[in-house]
A and B are shown apart, each in its own frame.
Chain A
């Protein structure tokens, strides 16, 4: 029962209700960083990493600090500060200890602070009343779903270089239309929603 529930959360946030394509979280980076597969992949890893850690930390704060003292209305302020601090700490930690990861994720980390996917998922965890494990699974699924969508987008945009796009459509407009097609495709998974 418990495991089926976790699986349902994971599949829902990763595919059927994909963070980007159906919940519209983290769109700026989705269009901004998807110009090459390499950077899209790094961005995906960074987002996954930060979302999972932020889900864990914000769950503890929510459960042991905000709820017992009835300060739920401060959720937004507390969570965004936690995320900003966390990103800064992660940045300092990997710069000192894991230079390889630093080379890969370095420039994407600051972008993640203002990525709505991270704050959005922590708020969803709290609003849905997820427990610790469910929060982690939701965070992981969201991160992987983000990576899936952004890598697919980068792949399609790579192909687009050889396509003849009308002048008025070049740049952003065609990207949005690709997004529309992808959202339509992911919409087809809607029937798989496990309840």
Chain B
């Protein structure tokens, strides 16, 4: 088992790779259920992103702490217990302090447990890394996810209701395309954004 040497540069690398190079949503296409389900408005998207980031950072931290005590065979159930503990924590916190976002996200807060990004990071990174790199990785992936969800929910809110964070921004007389905040709109937005990133990737790749 290789453990990366410990210095500031590797920490920065672990942090930034989740934001662009290995963005969990746009590059790896993981955890798409919440990405499509809750992105009907920007504040819901942000709420989901922050909740997921919280869970990612703390589950990565604790999984990394217990990585040497946990027997290999039962590691998945133990990871699940750790992750769902933090999900329950975040659910109770949100119910207490931001009840309307808690209401809007509904069943998708407990479903953070089965978000493939979190299990994926636990299995692929946190269970093999020291605590600080694991936290940096979780934070980077979380911010990458939050950015992706914000982009999608921003697009859907602007086109679908003509507002951003609840403020009117489109010209008067703009009639919102309601389809964008309904389920089909989620698929369309995600497909076109993925296509855009792939197109840019192809363009940049050709130049080099």
Q: Are B183 and A76 in contact (CB under 8 A)?
A: no
B20 on interface, CB distance cutoff 8 Å: no
For the residues of A in contact with B, the DSSP-based class is helix
Q: What is the CB-to-nearest-CB distance from B82 to chain A, in angstroms, rounded to a whole number?
A: 10
- Give the number of chain A interface residues (Cβ < 8 Å): 44
Q: Are B116 and A28 in contact (CB under 8 A)?
A: yes
A97 on interface, CB distance cutoff 8 Å: no
Q: Are A24 and B186 in contact (CB under 8 A)?
A: yes
Residues from chain B with a CB closer than 8 A to the CB of A169 are: 195, 198
Residue in B29, B81, B183, B198 with the greatest tally of chain A CB atoms within 10 Å? B183
Pick the contact of B84 from A77, A124, A168 — CB < 8 Å? A77
Q: Are A84 and B110 in contact (CB under 8 A)?
A: no
Q: Are A168 and B119 in contact (CB under 8 A)?
A: no
Residues from chain A with a CB closer than 8 A to the CB of B37 are: 23-24
Q: Mark B37-63, 1 if CB is under 8 A from A, else 0.
A: 100000000000000000000000000
Q: When chains A and B are docked, how far (Å) is the Cα of A24 from the Cα of B195?
A: 21
A25 on interface, CB distance cutoff 8 Å: yes
Stretch of B11-19, B87-95, B139-147 with 4 or more beta carbons under 8 angstroms from chain A: B87-95
Residues from chain B with a CB closer than 8 A to the CB of A27 are: 32-33, 36
Q: How many A-B residue pairs have CB under 8 A?
A: 116
Residue of B nearest to A26 (CB): B33
Q: Which of A21-44 contact B (CB under 8 A)?
A: 21-28, 31
Residues from chain A with a CB closer than 8 A to the CB of B30 are: 28
Given known pairs A114-B116, A119-B110, the reply for A176 and B187 (CB within 8 Å) is: yes
For the residues of B in contact with A, the DSSP-based class is helix
B204 on interface, CB distance cutoff 8 Å: no
Q: What is the CB-to-nearest-CB distance from B51 to chain A, in angstroms, rounded to a whole number?
A: 13
Residues from chain B with a CB closer than 8 A to the CB of A171 are: 198
Pick the contact of B88 from A23, A25, A74, A172 — CB < 8 Å? A74
Q: Are B191 and A81 in contact (CB under 8 A)?
A: no
Pick the contact of B113 from A119, A172, A181 — CB < 8 Å? A119
A103 on interface, CB distance cutoff 8 Å: no
B126 on interface, CB distance cutoff 8 Å: no
Q: When chains A and B are docked, how far (Å) is the Cα of A26 from the Cα of B108?
A: 12
Q: Are A76 and B36 in contact (CB under 8 A)?
A: no
A187 on interface, CB distance cutoff 8 Å: yes
B164 on interface, CB distance cutoff 8 Å: no
Residue of B nearest to A186 (CB): B183
Pick the contact of B183 from A21, A77, A119, A123 — CB < 8 Å? A21
Residues from chain B with a CB closer than 8 A to the CB of A115 are: 114
A75 on interface, CB distance cutoff 8 Å: yes
B111 on interface, CB distance cutoff 8 Å: yes
Closest A-B pairs by Cβ, 6 of them: A176-B191, A180-B187, A24-B37, A173-B195, A168-B199, A183-B184
10 contacts between A and B (CB under 8 A): A22-B183, A26-B33, A76-B87, A76-B110, A77-B88, A84-B80, A123-B107, A127-B107, A173-B198, A183-B187
Residues of B near any A CB (own CB < 8 A): 29-34, 36-37, 76-77, 80-81, 84-85, 87-88, 91-92, 107, 110-111, 113-116, 119, 179, 182-188, 190-192, 194-196, 198-199, 202
Residues of A near any B CB (own CB < 8 A): 21-28, 31, 73-77, 80-81, 84-85, 113-116, 119-120, 123-124, 127, 167-177, 179-181, 183-184, 187
Further 16 A-B residue pairs, CB within 8 A, beyond A26-B33, A80-B80, A167-B202: A24-B37, A75-B110, A76-B88, A76-B110, A76-B113, A80-B114, A81-B81, A114-B116, A120-B111, A168-B198, A169-B198, A174-B191, A177-B188, A180-B185, A184-B184, A187-B184
